C-alpha cells in the first residue's frame, strides 16, 4: 500500500512531540538578571589622562573597554562591580550630567530559552521524519522546515548569549570635556526650551528616557530588552536603538526640530546627512574618529508630542550590517501617528 502524503497545511507544532513540563524560574530579587547602564558627562583637566584612567578602572574591576571615540569612552564591568566602577569614573572630574538605568532581562532570557528549546525539539523530530520519508515532496518540505528552524535556532542562540552577557557585564559610558572648553551658550529661552536637543548623545539614552515610552518594531538581529519601561533594543555586536516621546514645546514641526538638532549637535560630527525613514525625518551623523561610529536620530511630530528614536552603530561595518533591518522596522511603524501602547 503506497505511503500517504503528509498534510502540508498542518501546523508545525502538531508534528513536534509534546514538550516536557517546564519549571518556572524563580523570580526573587536575588535571582533576577539585571543589566546596569550608567552614563556621565564630565569636565576634566586632561581628556587623555581621564580616558587612560577609565581604561585602567575597567581592567582593575575585571572588565574591558567596549569602544573609545575621541572624547568618549565606554567600558564593560561585572554587574557586581558596577557601583564601584561608576563611582570611580564620576570621581575623575566635575559631573555635568549622569544617568543610571537598570534593565531586567530575566523574562526575555527565559522566553528566549523556551523558544530555543521548542525549536530544537521540533527540528529533531523533523530530522527523524526525514529519515523515514519516501515521497520526494515530503522530503523537500521537511528539508525546508529543518533549514528554517536551524536559522531560527541560530538567531535564538545569539539572543540568549546577548542577554546573558548583558546580565553579567554592565556598561559605563563617559563623555569628557576639557576644563578649558567654553560650554555652549544660547539665548535664555533657547537654553530652557531646546535644552534637550543639546543633551542628545549617542552614549546616553537620557533624553528619550525623560519622556514616555514609544514602541517600535524590533529590527531583525536585535533583541527588545524591556517589555516595560522605555523601549530599548540591542544586537550582539553592540548596535543599540532606543526611543521615547517628548512634549512638543515650543510647538514645531519635524523640520523645525531636525534643524535644531543639526544646528546644535551637527557641528561636532564629520558629516551630517538628512533623510527619511517612514514618517520620521532623520539625521545620520558620522563621527570624526579614524574608525568612526554612526549615530542616527529620527524625529516625528504628532501634535503635542515629539516621537524620537536613536540608533548607535559602533562602526560603519555594523551600520551596513544592521541598517536594512532598522530601516524596514522603523519605516513599517513610521507612518502611524502612534500605537495604543505608546499613546497613553
Give the model confidence (pLDDT) of 261-289 as tens digits.
Answer: 999 999 999 999 999 999 999 999 999 99
Domain count, the chain: 2
Whether the per-residue pLDDT at 15 is higher than 80: the answer is: no
Of 163, 183, 203, the domain-final residue:
183
Calculate the CA 228 to chain-centre distance.
15
When pLDDT is cut at 50, 70 and 90, the band that residue 72 belongs to is very high
Domain assignment of residue 1, yes or no? no
**Could you give the CA distance from residue 243 to residue 335 in angstroms, rounded to a whole number?**
16
Among residues 139, 164, 183, the one where a domain terminates is 183
Quick one: 15 and 160 in the same domain? yes
pLDDT at 103: 87
Is 193 a domain residue?
A: no
> What are the Cα distances from residue 87, in Å, to 57, 94, 335?
11, 12, 43
**Same-domain status, 166 and 84:** yes
Taking CA atoms, 289 is separated from 78, 262, 317, in Å, by 28, 19, 14
Per the structure block, which three cell numbers stand in for 337?
501617528
What pLDDT does 202 receive?
Answer: 94
Same domain, 128 and 265: no
Which residues constitute the domain of residue 295?
A: 212-336
Handedness of CA 280, 241, 160, 153 (dihedral sign): positive
Secondary structure tally for the chain: helices H, strands E: 10, 12
232-263 b/e (C-beta count within 10 Å ≥ 16 → b): bbbbbebbbbbbbbbebeeebebeebbbbbbe
User: Domain for residue 123, yes or no?
Assistant: yes
Is beta strand 240-247 parallel, antiparallel or unpaired with respect to 305-313? antiparallel
CB atoms within 10 A of CB 42: 22
Encode pLDDT of 126-148 as tens digits: 999 999 998 999 999 999 999 99
Amino acid at each position: 500500500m503506497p505511503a500517504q502524503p503528509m498534510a502540508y497545511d498542518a501546523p508545525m507544532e502538531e508534528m513536534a512531540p509534546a514538550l516536557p513540563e517546564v519549571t518556572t524560574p524563580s523570580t526573587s530579587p536575588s535571582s533576577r538578571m539585571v543589566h546596569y547602564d550608567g552614563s556621565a558627562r564630565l569636565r576634566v583637566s586632561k581628556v587623555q589622562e581621564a580616558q587612560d584612567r577609565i581604561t585602567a578602572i575597567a581592567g582593575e574591576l575585571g572588565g574591558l573597554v567596549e569602544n573609545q571615540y575621541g572624547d568618549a569612552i565606554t567600558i564593560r564591568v561585572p554587574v557586581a562591580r558596577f557601583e564601584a566602577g561608576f563611582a570611580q569614573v564620576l570621581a575623575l572630574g566635575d559631573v555635568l550630567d549622569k544617568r543610571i538605568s537598570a534593565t531586567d532581562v530575566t523574562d526575555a532570557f527565559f522566553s528566549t530559552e523556551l523558544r530555543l528549546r521548542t525549536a530544537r525539539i521540533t527540528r529533531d523530530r523533523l530530522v527523524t521524519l526525514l529519515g523515514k520519508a519516501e515521497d520526494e515532496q515530503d522530503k523537500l518540505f521537511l528539508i525546508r522546515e529543518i533549514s528554517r528552524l536551524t536559522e531560527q535556532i541560530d538567531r535564538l542562540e545569539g539572543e540568549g548569549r546577548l542577554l546573558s552577557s548583558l546580565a553579567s557585564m554592565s556598561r559605563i559610558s563617559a563623555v569628557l570635556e576639557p576644563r578649558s572648553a567654553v560650554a555652549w551658550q544660547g539665548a535664555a529661552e533657547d537654553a530652557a526650551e531646546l535644552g534637550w536637543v543639546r543633551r542628545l548623545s549617542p552614549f546616553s539614552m537620557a533624553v528619550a528616557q525623560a519622556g514616555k515610552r514609544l514602541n517600535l518594531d524590533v529590527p531583525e538581529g536585535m533583541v527588545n530588552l524591556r517589555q516595560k519601561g522605555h523601549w530599548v533594543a540591542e544586537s550582539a555586536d553592540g548596535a543599540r536603538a532606543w526611543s521615547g516621546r517628548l512634549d512638543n514645546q515650543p510647538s514645531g514641526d519635524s523640520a523645525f526640530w531636525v534643524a535644531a538638532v543639526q544646528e546644535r549637535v551637527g557641528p561636532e560630527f564629520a558629516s551630517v546627512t538628512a533623510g527619511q525613514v517612514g514618517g520620521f525625518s532623520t539625521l545620520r551623523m558620522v563621527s570624526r574618529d579614524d574608525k568612526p561610529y554612526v549615530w542616527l536620530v529620527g524625529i516625528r511630530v504628532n501634535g503635542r508630542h515629539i516621537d524620537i528614536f536613536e540608533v548607535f552603530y559602533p562602526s560603519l561595518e555594523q551600520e551596513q550590517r544592521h541598517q536594512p533591518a532598522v530601516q524596514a522596522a522603523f519605516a513599517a511603524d513610521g507612518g502611524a501617528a502612534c500605537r495604543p501602547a505608546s499613546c497613553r
